[in-house]
Amino acid sequence: MGKYQDFYRKSIDQPDEFWAEQAKLIDWHRPFDQVLDYSRPPFTRWFVGGLTNLCHNAVDRHLKDRPEQNALVYISTETGQQQSYTYRELHAETSRFAAVLRAQGVEKGDRVIIYMPMIPEAVFAMLACARLGAIHSVVFGGFASASLATRIDDAQPRLLITADAGMRGGKIIPYKHLVDEALRLSSHPPQKVLIVNRGLDKEMAITTERDLDYASLREQHRDDRVDPVWLESSEPSYILYTSGTTGKPKGVQRDTGGHAVSLAASMRHIYAGQPGETMFTTSDIGWVVGHSYIVYGPLINGMTTILYEGLPIRPDPAIWWKIVEENKVSVMFSSPTAIRVLKKQPPEFLHKHDVSSLRNLYLAGEPLDEPTARWIADALKVNIIDNYWQTETGWPILSSVPGIEDTPRKFGSPSFQVYGFNLKLLHESTGQEVGVNEKGVLVAVPPLPPGCLSTVWGDDTRFVNTYFSTFETEMVYSTFDWATRDEDGYYFILGRTDDVINVAGHRLGTREIEEAIQAHPNIAEVAVVGIHDELKGQAVMAFAVAKDASRTSTPESAAQMEKEVMATVDKELGAIARPAKVHFVSALPKTRSGKLLRRSMQALAEGREPGDLTTLDDPASLELVRNVIAQWRKE
């Protein structure tokens, strides 16, 4: 473990020298004057004074050495389309898109919301924003109008980019009516909506003064040239909203220079990808993995990146391995949930295609259980690398680092702390470091390395209070995850310490879901918990008190009420947040001070003891929960 250990130690002991070396992996229009300004803890400014541009680093700089190499390969098993774009073609499309945005008045510092399916224009849009120095905020296409509206009001965008529809599992999912409703609900709607019309939604409504057709504007600006706008390293590149423990989502703000350097370094050291090779990341651009490892990371590294619209089991469960074979994929990134889905399929699909080009399969988004890791490793005969990180960090916190040293891996562990992250495991109440194999809260000692969030958009106080105020003993960044570390230094992630649920790698705040459920007129009170789920890691379970108890008094009426509640969540937040089950009770267990005992309810739902109940106000309320769960198990 010596080689990586030396590399890691240098990143902690000599950070200026270490990161100045990594910064050579990208182009700088003007060199930086200072590697790190940490004069205002916990805020960091990396590569101070340096001017650069994300789009230039992802596209323009490769025109010299690899103009005819594929940059982006789009594959849709939903529409049957496949399209490749060389770096030269990607440059042209991005420049056209930037010209369209510029013609609508978009300039440096403006926000642009991108609410798009997995189509090439979504990537062009992201890169075009970066080219202009505009700040993009991609909102996952599965979110409902109310969720989109809250993000619009927080970001206050000049423009919103969308498509007529997406597709999933062969079904058309119209987007435009959701956008129209979001703008109606919003206090700060953008003046213009740019629409990529795929021809899927034949009934799409157009608002004449507001809605713009991308295809006709692209034609109009076909030959326009837009040069990159050079940004100071610390200027924001994008906002990505992540669920918090309060109902209002947090806008994770990413800088420009630190982001580019951290991704360039991670592509070499962690993902061990070489320029000219192909990377296939099965995420969505609405999530951080899509930002870092579908769009920016592989392109900054001069690789070919695959943009996939479709499911892992359509047209059959061999589709991903067919893509690997046909595109000679060497680096692949997916999630434990996706692998567990494939595990349920007939095993012959794993052996239909030649995957010998694949060196490493990376899995992240939720804890990777040992049986799943062992199963896919044995089936594919490739290295499985578990890595752990967050929307906030933008790149891995824990991982093995095969680009530096191919250390032995342990199933169930994302290995070691990644260079740049100075980690500790702290006792939740004393704040002291815990011992070997003892459970603690995983924290990072600031300054955080390049590429991590620089603040919460528009709210420095929330940034400090949310992430750096967990412990009174010292100022540390809290991941809000429990973990242990064994005698060999391997970390094991155990789950959340806060009220965020991780469903198939998608982070959902309990408060957000509770607020959505309470939008139903017959819900008086509700508590939402995440419970263990074999397939998705966690599932959402709700315990609700109805205003009119007669509407839930029989199994039939309760089932009808549950349907209505789920439809309400679909409307307020989107189907992604829909509870797996809604239990109706006459009272919820609380402490004497009125705090909901979510952990006790979660424990009962998972078949565990409810823990310390000394603060419980009404013991009968917990029995109600215990009884409905016992009944549910019988069913």
Per-residue model confidence as pLDDT tens digits over 430-447: 999 999 999 899 999 999
CATH of the domain at 527: 3.30.300.30
What is the pLDDT at residue 142? 74
Tokens of 467: 């992430």
CATH of the domain at 184: 3.40.50.980
- Is pLDDT of 592 > 80? no
The answer to whether residue 354 is domain-embedded is: no
The answer to whether residue 48 is domain-embedded is: no
Which of 121-130, 230-239, 388-397, 536-545 bottoms out in mean pLDDT, i.e. has the lowest? 536-545
Per-residue model confidence as pLDDT tens digits over 90-139: 999 999 999 999 999 999 999 999 999 999 999 999 999 999 999 999 99
**pLDDT mean across residues, the chain:** 93
What is the pLDDT at residue 547? 86
Strand blocks (E) in 164-281: 165-168, 171-174, 192-196, 211-213, 231-232, 238-242, 250-254, 278-281
Point out the domain boundary residue: 197, 229, 261. Answer: 229
Q: Looking at the DSSP assignment, which residues form a beta bridge with residue 111? A: 135
Point out the domain boundary residue: 172, 200, 229. Answer: 229
- Is pLDDT of 245 > 70? no
Residue 411, Cβ density class (10 Å: 0-12 exposed, 13-18 middle, ≥19 buried): middle
The answer to whether residue 61 is domain-embedded is: no
- CA distance to 111, 113, 250, 500, 592, per residue, from 458 (Å): 12, 16, 10, 22, 36
Residue range of the domain that includes 589: 503-634
- Is pLDDT of 177 > 60? yes
Residue keyed to tokens 């192909």: 278
Residue keyed to tokens 């960090």: 393
What is the pLDDT at residue 1? 52
Count of domains in the chain? 2
- CA distance to 1, 9, 11, 12, 139, per residue, from 6 (Å): 9, 5, 9, 10, 40
| Mean pLDDT (whole number) for 400-404 | 97
What is the pLDDT at residue 440? 92
Point out the domain boundary residue: 213, 229, 245. Answer: 229
- Is pLDDT of 246 > 90? no
Going by their DSSP bridges, the two strands 329-334 and 360-363 should be labelled as parallel
The answer to whether residue 212 is domain-embedded is: yes
What is the pLDDT at residue 153? 96
The answer to whether residue 548 is domain-embedded is: yes
Distance (Å, whole) CA 357 – CA 322: 12
Q: Is 534 left (phi over 0), alpha (psi -120 to 50) or beta?
A: alpha
- Is pLDDT of 629 > 60? yes
The answer to whether residue 620 is domain-embedded is: yes
Secondary element (H or E) of residue 456: strand 455-456
The answer to whether residue 605 is domain-embedded is: yes
Query: Nearest-5° angle of CA 165, CA 181, CA 238?
Result: 70
Q: Give every CB contact of residue 124 below 8 A, 6+ residues apart in sequence.
A: 90, 93, 94, 96, 97
Distance (Å, whole) CA 429 – CA 472: 10
Going by their DSSP bridges, the two strands 51-52 and 231-232 should be labelled as antiparallel
Choose between 326 and 595: higher pLDDT: 326
Per-residue model confidence as pLDDT tens digits over 479-500: 998 899 999 999 998 777 766 7
Contact between 308 and 73 under an 8 Å Cβ cutoff? The reply is no
Query: Nearest-5° angle of CA 153, CA 154, CA 159?
Result: 65
Quote the distance between the C-alpha of residue 240 and its chain's center: 8
- Is pLDDT of 143 > 80? yes
Quote the distance between the C-alpha of residue 150 and its chain's center: 18
Distance (Å, whole) CA 35 – CA 587: 56
Amino acid in the structure at residue 586: S
